[in-house]
Structures are given as structure tokens and as C-alpha cells.
Amino acid sequence: MKARIKKFNEIGITDVGSVGGKNASLGEMYNQLTSKGVNVPNGFATTSYAFWEFLKANKIEEPLKELLTKLDRKNYSNLKTIGQQARELILIGSFSSAFSKAIKKSYINLCGKDLKEVAVRSSATAEDLPDASFAGQHNTYLNIKGEDQLLEAVKKCFASLYTNRAIKYREDKGYKHHDIALSVGIQLMVRSDKSCSGVGFTIEPESGFENVIVLSGVWGLGENIVQGTVNPDEFYVFKPALALNKYPIIQKKRVIKN
């Protein structure tokens, strides 16, 4: 039988078809960087096999296909209704006992004796391809704690494959909705309340300049940056200076924080 769950140490960049682009990248980072002193929070991922199994067990596949044939592909006048109905089809479904037990067991093994807060992150199997990026199309749930909350968050991530924005994006890019599965990554939360969080780019994202690292940071959760609800501090770091142990910051912006 194919695996319903894979630990980060079992995942690499070649596993996009099984765990999606985001989780494949997280697994690659965990396996390649942990030994070099980069502290990548550990976790595990549900697989595309588990997603397809869930749809089949709940007899959702054909209703989803039928529902999406009714989508107004000219003006998208009924996109909101179609998206809501698609998500409801998934949310009323039930996880199998085997799948629920696998998630709970992996969560307990990840946390140890004391159950910890985790991030529950969506990762589509067509994510971040050369001609498309699905970043921000699907949902993430933070500070999830406890088995019941975790199972609920995983199902909500499954349903987020059919957010209105994700449906429209796939239509624009020519992807078939029923060809894409949703993997869910469960990753230990970092205590941002004791420090800060943010986003890092290993190349300058607007120009593609490879010798600059761009770091953005805020107090609290990094989701505030992603959603654009706060203005972050920004630092531009010059890689060659960093390699020579010289002062590497070539530009910085500090913002007023309340």
C-alpha cells in the first residue's frame, strides 16, 4: 500500500507529485541543511495518495467534476457559488479511521510527550512549476494544537484546493482541476513571540540578481507579511561581502512598530 504520510526526512525535491512543491522543498531543506546548522523545523506531510483515497471513499470525485462543468468560464459570474459548493463537498466528507490514526500517530511522534503547536500548510501537486506559482492560492492554519484541531485543519486544507482564487488561477493557466491533489504539511511552529519572523529570498526577487539576499522581518507571525497587513523591516545582504566576512548590508529599511 502507498504511504498516506511521509516524514520530512523521507521527502526530497523529486517528490512534488506525492507531496506538492512546498512540502517537497521543506523536506529537501530539512535533509540538506539540518546537518549544516540551519534549524529547519521538523514535520510530516500527507500524500497525494491520501487525498485521492479520501475523495474516492467519500464518493466526491464525480460530483466535483460535474460541479465544475457548470462554471461560467466567460465571465465567472458563478465562481463564488461553485467554489463554496466544491469546498462543502470536501468538508462534509469523513477521514478513514486509518488516515486519522496515521495523522495522530505522526503528530504525537513529532511532538513527543507534550503536544505542541504546529503550522498546517497546503501544498498542491502542481505547485510552483516553471510557468506557474500556486503560492497564496490555498490555505494555511497556524498555532494548531491537539488532535481534533489538527484533523479539522487538514480537512480545511483539502477543501482549500477549491478556493475561488485557486479555481480561477487553474482556469487561467489551463490546468485540469481533477488532475491536481492537495498534500498537507504539518510543521512545528517557531516561537515568534520570543523573537520575530519573516521572509527570506536567496536572490533579489524583482531583478533576479543572484548576489543579494533579501530579508524581511516583523514581530509576531510571518503570515502578517505574506498577507500584507504590516510593513516589515527589510535588509539587503551582499553575498560576496558576507563570504569575505565583511559588513554585508547594502540597504536597510526600518519601520515604525506599534
> What is the pLDDT confidence band of residue 129, given thresholds at 50, 70 and 90?
low
Q: For 152-188, what is each residue's pLDDT tens digit?
A: 999 999 999 999 999 999 998 888 899 899 999 999 9
Domain boundaries, the chain: 5-188, 192-253
What is the structure's pLDDT at 151? 98
* pLDDT value at residue 25: 93
Query: What is the topology classification, in CATH, of domain 5-188?
Result: Dna Ligase; domain 1 (3.30.1490)
**How confident is the model over 185-231, as pLDDT tens digits?**
999 998 777 778 888 888 998 898 999 999 998 887 777 777 677 88
pLDDT value, residue 181: 94
Give me the chain's average pLDDT, please: 91
68 contacts 76 by C-beta, under 8 angstroms: no
Whether 33 and 76 have beta carbons less than 8 Å apart is answered as no
Domains 5-188 and 192-253 share a fold: no
Q: What is the assigned CATH class of domain 192-253?
A: alpha beta
pLDDT tens digits, one per residue of 19-41: 998 999 999 999 999 999 989 99
63 phi and psi angles, rounded to 5 deg: -60, -35
Average pLDDT of the residues in 121-146: 77
Q: C-alpha angle 87/91/95, rounded to 5°?
A: 135
What per-residue confidence (pLDDT) applies to 125? 87
